[in-house]
């Protein structure tokens, strides 16, 4: 009797728990569904000059009402842009049609809880057929001020609801919203909007790394982009997916930096650590440095060695994931070079753009000159391939050496490690993260000194940041962080020499 009542009780309890769980689950599902189909209230978040306000509007939302509401809150008429939470501007909203499209995009993006609008005092063309001009400066020029866009100070002012910067637990993948359905995406075109709302931050004392909110780096990355990045990370050159990001959309011109090259070819800057230290520069300092190094690289590349005009291709000296490396002979100067030939399989318009961007990037990398870095001489595009010229390293790769001699002695390992670290420190002083340190990319000269090669995988961190801002790739974010903390590089180096131990 006793046992039976106990059983009843525990069954009841189980049933109650089960019902409760089911109820909770159902209401959760319904809440999720209700967002796109049933919800009549639309939560709107507006950002203007670093202030974020939220309010609710009843669907269907009228464009005039939205404009009026914004005017009431911010005290003046402002231009409106629909944006993702990642900060990517999707489209300007200048009419009822635009607003409907924005709301439709928002409704489809299950992860967004509110319609995010960026406001600006600048006027957009009101005609949809006349969108703002695309902003697509060539690679090689410098970032403009809107690069500070991820730093957002917050102010509490009357009117609207103060929204603290939320830590993105989930992030809207740009791919989850098909902006292309509505024609061009204006993501790069409205820099001014961002600039106006962020130039303030650029000048402010806001320090990202010191911020308790920790807005940088502040995200868990979305799976799709990190997966893509990880896959592409297996190969080092060229990365067709990422190459687009060699085209920085926020570059502008900036003043000369204070870099000085010493006799060894090293650079030093008063603003940031050279990468060999563990100090963490603030975000603003970091960007200042980027402007400086980009400028410096531009300058250096003008005086650096040129690619050969007449050359003879000789034997293949190696093969990587993207093509063969040949020894070649410069018939004008008599020097020997290495030439990496990357086959371009389908040369469509997109590929050509990427190739051009890569060529620009390599041209810029010519400006990197150091005794521990394999020198780039430039590149040349042919009908079906891209030829990259670089210093010929007669000793081959450390990987080959390890295989051939079944390991390295401790002394040699120490010397190589020291030399690689010198090279890395130099790269870091140019805010470049190599990202693919391995035996095959450490090349030897005939006297047994090593140099770091293959910058196909490396990129300027500013490009990485651009990528971070647009796609939040795991790899790139990691690269940026590693520049602050110098961990990944050291890890790669350790792994590189683990090869030695394994042999
Ligand atoms: N400048 C050079 N001088 C001499 N040999 C070189 C030079 N560059 C590359 N090699 C040789 O060619 C091989 C292939 O180089 P490559 O950069 O194409 O491929 P990888 O780095 O091994 O692979 P991946 O680029 O796919 O990561 C190297 O391992 C090295 O032996």
What residues line ligand 1, using a CB cutoff of 6 Å?
Answer: 235-237, 317-322, 325, 338, 340, 374, 390-393, 396-397, 400, 440-441, 443, 453-454, 456
Of the residues 288, 436, 454, 476, only one is catalytic, namely 436
HEC sequence for 408-426: CCHHHHHHHHHHHHHHHHH
Q: Check: CB of residue 90 under 8 Å from CB of residue 103.
A: no
Q: Ligand 1, residue 400: give the atom nearest the CA.
A: 31
Residues 364/376, Cβ–Cβ less than 8 Å = no
Nearest-CA residue for ligand 1 atom 23 is 320
State residue 430 phi and psi, 5-degree precision.
-100, 15
CA–centroid distance, residue 325 to ligand 1 (Å)? 6
Residue 207 vs residues 61, 286, 345, 484, 492: alpha-carbon distances, Å: 38, 11, 46, 14, 29
Q: Are strands 336-343 and 385-391 parallel, antiparallel or unpaired?
A: antiparallel
Tens-of-pLDDT digits for all 503 residues of the chain? 444 444 456 666 666 666 665 665 555 555 544 444 445 788 898 888 777 888 888 888 899 999 988 988 888 888 888 876 655 556 778 888 888 888 887 887 777 788 888 888 776 554 444 444 333 333 333 333 333 333 333 333 334 443 433 333 333 333 333 333 333 333 333 333 333 333 323 333 222 223 333 222 333 333 323 333 333 333 333 333 333 332 222 223 333 333 333 334 443 333 333 333 444 445 556 556 666 666 777 777 667 777 888 999 999 998 877 788 999 999 999 999 999 888 776 656 556 666 776 777 677 778 888 999 999 888 888 877 888 899 999 999 998 898 888 888 888 988 998 999 899 888 877 777 777 788 888 999 989 999 998 865 554 444 444 444 444 334 444 444 444 444 445 555 555 555 554 44
What pTM, to 2 d.p., does this model score? 0.45
Residue 100: how many other CB atoms lie within 10 Å: 14
Report helix, strand or coil for 28: helix
Nearest ligand 1 atom, CA 454: 17
Fold classification of 305-392 is: Phosphorylase Kinase; domain 1 (3.30.200)
Q: Which of 453, 457, 458, 496 for a ligand 1 pocket mutation test, highest count of atoms within 8 Å of Cβ?
A: 453
- Report H helices in 38-108: 63-74, 96-108
Separation of 139 CA from ligand 1 center, angstroms?
Answer: 26
Which of 423, 429, 433, 437 has the alpha carbon at shortest distance from 467?
433
The answer to whether the beta carbons of residues 432 and 458 sit under 8 Å apart is yes
Count of Cβ atoms closer than 10 Å to residue 101 Cβ:
20
Q: Is 104 a catalytic residue?
A: no
Q: Supply the residue whose CA is at minimum distance from atom 18 of ligand 1.
A: 320
Give the distance, in angstroms, between the CA of residue 228 and the centroid of all CA atoms in the same chain: 13
Tell me whether domains 41-120 and 394-502 share a fold: no
Ligand 1: residue of 362, 397, 434 to mutate (most ligand atoms within 8 A of CB) is: 397
Its CATH class, for the domain covering 394-502, is mainly alpha
Domain ranges for the chain? 41-120, 305-392, 394-502
Tell me, in angstroms, the distance from the centre of ligand 1 to residue 295's CA.
Answer: 29
Determine the Cα–Cα distance for residues 243 and 321; give it in Å rounded to an integer: 16
Question: For domain 41-120, which CATH number applies: 1.10.287.70, 3.10.20.90, 3.40.50.720, 3.30.200.20?
Answer: 3.10.20.90
Q: Is 190 helix (H, G, I), strand (E, B) or coil?
A: coil
C-alpha 60 chain-centroid distance: 37
């Amino acid at each position: 009797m006793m046992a039976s009542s106990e059983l009843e009780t525990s069954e009841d309890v189980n049933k109650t728990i089960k019902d409760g769980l089911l109820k909770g689950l159902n209401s959760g599902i319904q809440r999720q569904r209700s967002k796109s189909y049933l919800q009549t209230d639309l939560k709107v978040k507006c950002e203007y000059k670093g202030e974020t306000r939220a309010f609710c509007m009843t669907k269907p939302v009228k464009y005039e009402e939205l404009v009026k509401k914004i005017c009431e809150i911010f005290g003046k008429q402002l231009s409106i842009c629909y944006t993702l939470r990642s900060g990517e501007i999707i489209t300007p909203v200048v009419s009822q049609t635009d607003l409907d499209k924005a709301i439709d995009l928002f409704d489809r993006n299950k992860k967004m809880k509110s319609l995010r609008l960026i406001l600006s005092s600048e006027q957009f063309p009101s005609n949809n057929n006349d969108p703002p001009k695309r902003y697509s400066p060539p690679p090689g020029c410098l970032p403009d001020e809107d690069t500070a866009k991820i730093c957002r100070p917050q102010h509490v002012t009357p009117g609207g609801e103060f929204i603290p910067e939320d830590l993105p637990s989930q992030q809207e993948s740009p791919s989850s919203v098909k902006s292309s359905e509505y024609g061009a995406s204006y993501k790069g075109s409205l820099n001014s909007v961002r600039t106006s709302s962020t130039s303030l931050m650029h000048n402010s004392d806001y320090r990202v790394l010191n911020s308790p909110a920790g807005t940088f780096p502040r995200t868990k990355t979305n799976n799709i982009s990190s997966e893509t990045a990880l896959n592409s990370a297996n190969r080092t050159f060229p990365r067709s997916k990422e190459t687009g990001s060699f085209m920085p959309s926020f570059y502008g011109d900036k003043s000369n930096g204070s870099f000085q090259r010493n006799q060894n070819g090293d650079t030093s800057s008063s603003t940031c650590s050279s990468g060999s230290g563990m100090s963490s520069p603030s975000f603003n300092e970091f960007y200042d440095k980027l402007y400086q190094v980009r400028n410096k690289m531009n300058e250096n590349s003008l005086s650096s060695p040129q690619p050969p005009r007449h050359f003879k291709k000789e034997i293949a000296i190696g093969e990587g994931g993207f093509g063969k490396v040949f020894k070649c002979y410069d018939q004008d100067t008599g020097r020997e070079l290495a030439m990496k030939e990357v086959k371009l399989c389908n040369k469509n318009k997109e590929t050509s753009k990427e190739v051009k961007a890569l060529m620009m990037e390599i041209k810029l990398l010519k400006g990197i000159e150091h005794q521990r870095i394999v020198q780039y001489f430039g590149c040349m595009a042919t009908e079906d391939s891209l030829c990259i010229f670089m210093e010929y390293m007669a000793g081959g790769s450390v990987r080959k050496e390890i295989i051939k001699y079944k390991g390295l002695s401790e002394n040699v390992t120490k010397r190589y490690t020291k030399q690689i670290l010198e090279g890395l420190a130099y790269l870091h002083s140019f805010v470049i993260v190599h990202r693919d340190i391995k035996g095959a990319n450490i090349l030897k000269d005939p006297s047994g000194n090593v140099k770091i090669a293959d910058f196909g995988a490396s990129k300027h961190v500013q490009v990485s940041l651009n990528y971070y801002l647009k796609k939040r790739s795991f790899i790139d974010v990691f690269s940026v962080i590693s520049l602050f903390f110098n961990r990944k590089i050291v890890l790669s180096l350790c792994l590189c020499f683990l090869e030695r131990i394994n042999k």
